[in-house]
C-alpha cells in the first residue's frame, strides 16, 4: 500500500498548533473532517475512539513518530493524513521522546488488513533516516506531498 492510497492531501497539516496529546488528536482528526473525509458530526465520536485506543498504550512508536488510529463505522474505506509539529509534543511515546510526526488512520471496522498494510508502509518508510528527517523539517503541504510521493516511488527505504 502506498501513501497515496490513504493520505488525504487536503487534510495534511505541516504546522500543527496543538500543545497536548488531546489537542493534537483533535486537530488532526478535525483536518480530516474539514477536508470532508470524515463527517463533521462524527468528529467527537472519532476523537473519543482514538483517545480510548491511546489509553491502552501510546501509539507513539519511537523516532518521534505516532500513529494514532481507530476503527470507526462512519468510514467506508481507510482514510488518513499526516501532521507535523515542529516543536514536538509529549505523546507518552514508548521511548519517552517528543513526537513531531503524526500519521492518523481511520479504518472501517471490518478491514484489519488495510490498516496493517498502511502501518507496514509507514513503518518501512520511517526506517529511512532521510525520509524521517525531511518530513520533520517540512514547512508546507507541498513539501509533505512531494516527500510522500517520492516515498511511494521507492526513492527512500529498502
Binding interface with other proteins (CB under 8 A): 56-57, 59, 61-63, 65, 67, 69, 94, 112-113, 115-117, 119-120, 122-124, 126-127
Question: Smaller CB distance to other proteins: residue 121 or 145?
Answer: 121
Residue 3 beta carbon to other proteins: minimum distance, rounded to whole angstroms: 15
54 neighbors 23 (Cβ within 8 angstroms)? no
Residue 69 among the catalytic residues: yes
69 neighbors 115 (Cβ within 8 angstroms)? yes
Question: Smaller CB distance to other proteins: residue 27 or 103?
Answer: 103
How far is Cα 50 from Cα 40, in angstroms, rounded to an integer? 16
Q: Catalytic pick from 69, 72, 86, 115?
A: 69
Residue 52 beta carbon to other proteins: minimum distance, rounded to whole angstroms: 13
Question: Smaller CB distance to other proteins: residue 33 or 67?
Answer: 67
Question: Smaller CB distance to other proteins: residue 126 or 138?
Answer: 126
Residue 142 beta carbon to other proteins: minimum distance, rounded to whole angstroms: 26
Residue 34 beta carbon to other proteins: minimum distance, rounded to whole angstroms: 26
104 neighbors 81 (Cβ within 8 angstroms)? yes
| Long-range CB contact pairs, 16-21, < 8 A, 24+ | 16/83, 16/84, 16/85, 16/102, 18/85, 18/89, 19/89, 20/89, 20/90, 21/54, 21/89, 21/90, 21/91, 21/92
Q: How far is CA 142 from the centre of its chain?
A: 16
The set of catalytic residues is 69
Amino acid at each position: 500500500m502506498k501513501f497515496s492510497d490513504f493520505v488525504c492531501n487536503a487534510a495534511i497539516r505541516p504546522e500543527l498548533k496543538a500543545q497536548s496529546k488531546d489537542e493534537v488528536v483533535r486537530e488532526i482528526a478535525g483536518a480530516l473532517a474539514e477536508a470532508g473525509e470524515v463527517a463533521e458530526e462524527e468528529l467527537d465520536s472519532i476523537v473519543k475512539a482514538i483517545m480510548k485506543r491511546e489509553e491502552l498504550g501510546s501509539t507513539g512508536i519511537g523516532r518521534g513518530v505516532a500513529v494514532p488510529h481507530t476503527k470507526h463505522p462512519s468510514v467506508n474505506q481507510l482514510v488518513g493524513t499526516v501532521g507535523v509539529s515542529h516543536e514536538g509534543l509529549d505523546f507518552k511515546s514508548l521511548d519517552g521522546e517528543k513526537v513531531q510526526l503524526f500519521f492518523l488512520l481511520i479504518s472501517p471496522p471490518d478491514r484489519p488488513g488495510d490498516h496493517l498494510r498502511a502501518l507496514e508502509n509507514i513503518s518501512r518508510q520511517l526506517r529511512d533516516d532521510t525520509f524521517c528527517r525531511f518530513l520533520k523539517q517540512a514547512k508546507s503541504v507541498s513539501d509533505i506531498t512531494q516527500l510522500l510521493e517520492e516515498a511511494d516511488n521507492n526513492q527512500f527505504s529498502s
